Chains A and B, each alone.
Chain A
């Protein structure tokens, strides 16, 4: 139960942000951190808990983003309904990709590259069909107001992304504490062994990729409504796929708080390097990349791993470890 308490307290504290922060700039940073955490948690559900590395989460993100934009611009659908449609369509794409790959037993790098190929296929398609605006992109008409999912102030957007992230993190908690989650992790650790124990690996992985796609799609919907313009490169380009996996790996894969830690760390590093290093083109990103390498050098298991290691130095953890060791030796 303890992670659930920590989760509730963390999100309650984050929820104070719009009351405590008057600055749009800082609130925007919090919003973008939650948005990255959502992207990361979506990836984490499949990659961290399920062990299926995807290089193509843009396929889901872009589908959610385009769904809300296209339905709104072409069919006049209210974006709040588009939100549901975006999530579901992205989940559908997730299921489709999962069906095509898991059915044929693709794993590891093969799976990773096929997801990437799917994202590219969608990028190229969105660049060619008329309803996405093709290369010209699609612009959601400016119409400020909560009813049109375009809040006048940032607090409105904050609550949307906060809710989406909370749902994703609660799902991650459920995965850590349910029979489904146990099966998913068993598949990750040793698929053949899990099968031998009667786990339907295909079904479990399908569920994971569908959930993962759903939350990635929500992030896409949010992006579309926050920035109001999409083109194939923004929606389905590799940058989103990379961010999706970077966040949880830096934070700690397969841990509930990993994506949040990773998102916060990356956001902080990006802002700090910008401020400290200055404006010479390229230098701040070069420093950002260097910090990334340094982080991996010293935190091989991500920030969450580092946290666990520090916690593991405490007397209680030492006693627990000793007890475990004794139990095993007995």
Chain B
């Protein structure tokens, strides 16, 4: 049934889709993988970013890629404020509380979006929406090729921040040894909020790169959050390279699964790979024992 000529284009396209997943997962691997904050609001915050990009475009004519200068910093501020003002305070040091608070937040954010923006599907129309790039005989959407490059750059940037800056060192110290970090004078509340803000800023980048090829509606985040969690664990918690590779793998598995098992049943491949990797390599592909 399957024409073998389309396997290569399909895999290449899967890689670009996977890069978009990786972008969403990069922020999560910082928040969840490093700080062990189970952020159920990740999808809802992605939706906020997407509405930001949409709003800038619809009301101020800002191109989604120019919005990269505005949306990620704004998302950083939102993330910082949420962690400092609500999530950190409500956690009382218990994981299940964080889970509940972020779940509650996601319900609030989604339904406020429903109230203010209504439930219409909104899209951004750009001159390059239908452009394609030829790669090895496959016509890949230009917007997704850009997203692919964006994912690589963002992963590299995050890696640099984590390894080369004082902030990164503080975050890693906090992740390893919470009490010790506090003892040596690290303002843990501040660093937690900074990390959360950074993770959400990644979502802002993801939103800018995703919007030209996608749409936004109040529930849009749900489609990405499960995949993102899968990628984070698959790649190894807290590993940015792992998240990138994990995203690409999931993209390709999804493409091939869709091709050979059908688009609906093919989704099963993602979860089977995930289960198998965890059973045989519980630390993920590039993770260390956490």
Direct contact of A and B (CB under 8 A): yes
Q: In A75-121, which residues have CB < 8 Å from any B CB?
A: 100-101, 104-106, 109-110, 112-114, 116-118, 120-121
Kindly state the separation between the CA atoms of A290 and B90 in the bound complex, as whole angstroms: 12
> Cβ of A45 < 8 Å from any Cβ of B?
no
Q: B118 — which chain A residues lie within 8 A by C-beta? A: 281
**Which of B105, B106, B112, B278 makes the CB contact (< 8 A) with A114?**
B278
In the complex, what's the smallest C-beta–C-beta distance from A294 to chain B, in angstroms? 8
Cβ of B229 and Cβ of A290 under 8 Å apart?
no
In the complex, what's the smallest C-beta–C-beta distance from B121 to chain A, in angstroms? 15
Q: In A117-157, which residues have CB < 8 Å from any B CB?
A: 117-118, 120-121, 124-125, 127-128, 135
Q: A113-B229, A117-B275 are in contact. Are A290 and B268 (CB under 8 A)?
A: no
In the complex, what's the smallest C-beta–C-beta distance from A173 to chain B, in angstroms? 22
Chain B 84-106 near chain A by CB (<8 Å), digits 1 or 0: 00100110101111011101111
Kindly state the separation between the CA atoms of A120 and B92 in the bound complex, as whole angstroms: 31
Cβ of A124 and Cβ of B237 under 8 Å apart?
no
Interface of A is mostly: helix
Cβ of B279 and Cβ of A104 under 8 Å apart?
yes
**Which of B265, B274, B278 makes the CB contact (< 8 A) with A124?**
B265
Cβ of B94 and Cβ of A300 under 8 Å apart?
yes
In the complex, the chain A residue whose C-beta lies closest to that of B284 is A110
Cβ of A116 and Cβ of B226 under 8 Å apart?
yes
Chain A 262-299 near chain B by CB (<8 Å), digits 1 or 0: 00000000000000000011110110111111011100
- Which has the most chain B C-beta neighbours within 10 Å: A100, A110, A127? A110
Kindly state the separation between the CA atoms of A173 and B105 in the bound complex, as whole angstroms: 33
Size of A's binding interface in residues, CB under 8 A? 45
Kindly state the separation between the CA atoms of A118 and B274 in the bound complex, as whole angstroms: 10
Q: A113-B233, A296-B90 are in contact. Are A105 and B282 (CB under 8 A)?
A: yes
Q: A117-B271, A281-B115 are in contact. Are A300 and B265 (CB under 8 A)?
A: no
Kindly state the separation between the CA atoms of A121 and B230 in the bound complex, as whole angstroms: 13
Kindly state the separation between the CA atoms of A189 and B278 in the bound complex, as whole angstroms: 23
Interface of B is mostly: helix
In the complex, what's the smallest C-beta–C-beta distance from A89 to chain B, in angstroms? 20
Q: In B14-66, which residues have CB < 8 Å from any A CB?
A: 32, 36, 38
In the complex, what's the smallest C-beta–C-beta distance from B188 to chain A, in angstroms? 18
Cβ of A293 and Cβ of B90 under 8 Å apart?
yes
Q: A286-B108, A286-B112, A300-B94 are in contact. Are A293 and B101 (CB under 8 A)?
A: yes
The segment from A10-18, A192-200, A246-254 that touches chain B is A246-254
Cβ of A289 and Cβ of B271 under 8 Å apart?
no
> Cβ of A242 < 8 Å from any Cβ of B?
yes
In the complex, the chain B residue whose C-beta lies closest to that of A291 is B104
Q: A124-B267, A124-B271, A293-B86 are in contact. Are A113 and B115 (CB under 8 A)?
A: no
Cβ of A290 and Cβ of B100 under 8 Å apart?
no
Size of B's binding interface in residues, CB under 8 A? 48
Cβ of A281 and Cβ of B114 under 8 Å apart?
yes
Cβ of B100 and Cβ of A249 under 8 Å apart?
yes
Kindly state the separation between the CA atoms of A242 and B104 in the bound complex, as whole angstroms: 11
Q: B272 — which chain A residues lie within 8 A by C-beta? A: 121
Q: B119 — which chain A residues lie within 8 A by C-beta? A: 281
In the complex, what's the smallest C-beta–C-beta distance from A167 to chain B, in angstroms? 25
> Cβ of B213 < 8 Å from any Cβ of A?
no
In the complex, what's the smallest C-beta–C-beta distance from B223 to chain A, in angstroms? 12
Q: A104-B282, A109-B36, A127-B265 are in contact. Are A296 and B275 (CB under 8 A)?
A: no
Cβ of B97 and Cβ of A300 under 8 Å apart?
yes
> Cβ of B264 < 8 Å from any Cβ of A?
yes
Cβ of A110 and Cβ of B115 under 8 Å apart?
no
Cβ of B265 and Cβ of A106 under 8 Å apart?
no
Q: B96 — which chain A residues lie within 8 A by C-beta? A: 53, 249, 253
What would 15 A/B residue contacts be, using CB atoms closer than 8 Å? A112-B38, A113-B274, A113-B278, A118-B271, A125-B265, A127-B264, A249-B99, A250-B100, A281-B114, A282-B114, A282-B218, A283-B111, A286-B107, A293-B90, A301-B94
Contacts A104-B279, A128-B262 known; list 8 others, CB within 8 Å: A104-B280, A113-B230, A116-B226, A117-B230, A117-B271, A282-B113, A285-B107, A293-B100
| 6 shortest interchain CB distances as A-B pairs | A289-B107, A292-B104, A282-B114, A300-B92, A289-B108, A282-B111
